[in-house]
């Protein structure tokens, strides 16, 4: 009886649980996080349980095609020593035309729909030729508004902005 009364009283005092909180509580038990807090994480177990990332055929074709072609266009010394210290206009045009700025934007929204792993592989390849090009492609895909609009934007915002972001407009 006392527990029932206490439960009712606390229920009135506490804020309602959000949908996110309910999902988090129902998500399961402790995983690798527990091991981190013990101070003795078993990284071998973590790596054993994770599947190795793989590129899709489409992602591989992009790396072997447009990314390779872009690398051939890049000369970091020339970029650094140009008056603008920026990528040449024809390189920017190529980046936009091939949607390097929309790698992680879903296909239905005008992007390439690539995985984070593919994004990383493309940036790695570009960085082997030009840090400027690698960062120019990396930032809009990882820190840009595309993901925020994709996750939290209205349908109208997604339809308007995502195709334009993917094309670098």
pLDDT bucket at 19, cuts 50 / 70 / 90: confident
- Domains of the chain listed by start with CATH number: 57-166 (1.10.540.10)
* Nearest by Cα to 129 from 137, 117, 141: 137
Does residue 118 register a pLDDT over 90?
A: yes
Stretch 96-114: mean pLDDT: 91
| pTM for the predicted model, two decimal places | 0.70
Are the beta carbons of 39 and 97 closer than 8 angstroms? no
What is the C-alpha separation between 105 and 4, in angstroms, rounded?
Answer: 51
What are residue 3's phi and psi, to 5 degrees? -65, -40
Stretch 61-66: mean pLDDT: 97
Stretch 131-139: mean pLDDT: 92
Could you tell me which residue, 75 or 4, shows the higher pLDDT?
Answer: 75
Give the percent of the chain with pLDDT over 70: 95
What are residue 106's phi and psi, to 5 degrees? -55, 150
The predicted structure's pLDDT at residue 123:
96
- 3-state secondary structure (DSSP) of residue 11: helix
Distance set, CA 60 to CA 52, 71, 118, 119, 126 (Å): 16, 15, 8, 11, 14
User: Which residue, chain included where needed, has tokens 């349980």?
Assistant: 49
Distance set, CA 68 to CA 29, 36, 61, 128, 141 (Å): 44, 40, 10, 11, 19
């Amino acid at each position: 009886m006392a527990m029932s009364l206490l439960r009712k009283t606390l229920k009135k005092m506490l804020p309602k649980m959000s949908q996110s909180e309910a999902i988090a509580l129902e998500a399961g038990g402790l995983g690798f996080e527990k091991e981190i807090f013990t101070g003795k994480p078993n990284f071998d177990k973590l790596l054993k349980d994770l599947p190795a990332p793989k590129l899709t055929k489409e992602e591989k074709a992009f790396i072997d095609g447009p990314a390779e072609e872009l690398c051939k266009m890049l000369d970091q010394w020339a970029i650094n020593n140009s008056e603008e210290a920026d990528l040449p206009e024809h390189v920017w045009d190529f980046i936009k035309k091939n949607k390097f700025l929309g790698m992680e934007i879903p296909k239905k929204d005008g992007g390439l729909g690539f995985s984070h792993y593919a994004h990383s592989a493309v940036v790695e390849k570009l960085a082997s030729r030009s840090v400027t090009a690698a960062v120019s492609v990396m930032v809009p895909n990882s820190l840009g508004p595309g993901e925020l609009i994709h996750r939290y934007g209205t349908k109208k915002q997604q339809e308007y902005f995502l195709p334009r972001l993917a094309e670098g407009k």
